[in-house]
Chains A and B, each alone.
Chain A
Amino acid sequence: MLNYTFDWSTVTSGQYFDWLVSGLITTLKLSAISIVLAFILGLIIAVMRMSHNKPVRWFALAYLEFFRNTPLLVQIFFWYFGSYKILPAAINDWLVSTNFEFAAAAIALTIYTSAFIAEDIRSGVLSIPKEQMEASRSAGFSYLRSMQYIILPQAVRITIPPLVNQFLNVAKNSSLAMTIGVMEMTYQARQVESYTFKGFEAFTAATVVYLLLSIIITSLVNIYNDKVLNVHKAA
């Protein structure tokens, strides 16, 4: 039989609860910032990938292949341990004085995820009939403004299911930030475990938090989908 006594109060009250809450807040911040920035960057890279300008297109292609095909953990280490070595001392000092761990993790998550989002959006754009572009060009819109007003709004609607996947990945991948000392959810759960040896409770709490976070993200996107984008009406 089990000779392990569950003690859920460790993680539901007191100092360790506070740690977990502060970890949750950091995870929320890191995920939210990375999701928003990765979406914007992904849109830009997707448009560049489809540009008629060859250097722009090649730059986007190189960006995609590079950041999609290297491990996120290596990218986090690169931004945290590598990038500042080539920066001027003044910027370096400033970075160290701020919360550089958090910034490095956000940059890595944003760039890594933007590559996947860009490819999802591009596949959405390719599925929009070319007549839509013709219609907006013939009204006098430039290529970029046609993208902005006509093509991307439709493409993003189609892309929502894969986009939700990417958003969920950001929330879960943000746990890797603990490796450079960002005090997010997983870091704090590990911390609680170290102090109390209550590993089961601590990581159960972390698991529940990530699960809830994912469900909340999915619901928010679905609500946006239904109420704002009118997907069903504009089928």
Chain B
Amino acid sequence: MIIFKGVHKWFKTLHVLNDINLHVTPGEVLVVCGPSGSGKSTLIRTINQLEPISEGSLVVDGMNLSDKKTDINKLRAEVGFVFQQFNLYPHLSVISNITLAPIKIRNISKKDAEEQAMVLLNRVGLSEKRDAYPAQLSGGQQQRVAIARALAMKPRIMLFDEPTSALDPEMIGEVLAVMKDLALSGMTMVVVTHEMGFAREVAHRVAFMADGIILEEATPEDFFMRPQHQRAQQFLRQLLTPMQAECP
């Protein structure tokens, strides 16, 4: 469903993605983790071409992103993206945030779009917030609305770029629960996250990145119990027991 073949990306002289080869199959949940600056956000942003790749080939849902003829807006409509900072539209109510793209891009009637939006709001547990504005919601609530907004386009793939990193600890659980529910429904997902509990419980596969390279790709069980690469071992140690981590 998502196939990276020899993908490179440079920001000027900075080599942020180095020979990425990755294959995400339909229904798979892939968690990407790694230290900050490792290129994981860039990696996930190439999948809907928020960042274009410099070299190699990237095929998403049968569409080749390097092909000039690929309609990038059509691809993006099929790929939901959830941002670290939610990025809800502040001038629109919750229900309008969710229905805008279905009405304008999918040409669904307002009534049908609102019915579907209410189903999604129920699913993320926020149906009573339909007329609220983003500024009136907590971070966790905003992120759940953002997930509902992405799902309203009935995407074939969902991308999450550190969806819980901007949240207060007590709100992380509610967002992860929604994502877990989504994963169990069979959605193809790529998730950049530091939530190792989520990775362990929900992911089918974990990719560990550092310095723009995928150093390790394994099942969660293998990754957490038997990390192969020394950087991965160090990363896990720091993440699980941050107070005892050695200074580099």
Chain A positions within 8 Å of B, measured between CB atoms, are 131-132, 134-142, 145, 149-150, 153-154, 157, 229-230, 233-235
Contact = CB atoms under 8 A, between A and B. Distances in A.
10 contacts: A131-B85, A131-B87, A132-B87, A137-B76, A138-B50, A139-B77, A139-B149, A140-B76, A141-B73, A234-B90
Pick the 10 closest A-B CB pairs, nearest first: A140-B77, A135-B87, A138-B81, A139-B101, A140-B76, A234-B133, A131-B87, A140-B73, A234-B91, A233-B133
Which of B83, B101, B150 has most A Cβ within 10 Å? B101
Given A134-B50, A149-B100, A234-B133, A139 B87 contact: no
A166 to B, nearest CB: 21
Contacts of A154: 89-91
Contact of A139 (B76, B135, B136): B76
A150 B104 contact: no
A138 B48 contact: yes
Interface of B: 48, 50, 73-74, 76-79, 81, 83, 85, 87-92, 100-101, 104-105, 133-136, 149-150, 153
A131 B134 CA distance: 15
B141 to A, nearest CB: 16
Nearest to A138: B81
A132 B89 contact: yes
A230 B83 CA distance: 25
Given A134-B83, A138-B81, A157-B91, A230 B133 contact: yes
Nearest to B101: A139
Nearest to A136: B89
B22 to A, nearest CB: 20
A141 B75 CA distance: 11
Contact of B76 (A132, A138, A234, A235): A138
Contacts of B77: 139-140
Nearest to A145: B104
Contact of B136 (A134, A229, A233): A233
B81 to A, nearest CB: 4
B160 to A, nearest CB: 12
A232 to B, nearest CB: 10
- Of the listed residues A131, A139, A141, A235, the one surrounded by the most CB atoms of chain B closer than 10 A to its CB is A139
Contacts of B135: 233-235
Contacts of B105: 139-141
Nearest to B152: A139
B214 to A, nearest CB: 23
B101 A140 contact: yes
Contacts of B104: 141, 145, 149
A199 B192 CA distance: 75
B175 to A, nearest CB: 17
B90 A139 contact: no
Contacts of B153: 139-140
A233 B78 CA distance: 32
B89 A150 contact: yes
A131 B88 CA distance: 9
Contacts of A229: 91
A140 B81 CA distance: 10
A24 B133 CA distance: 42
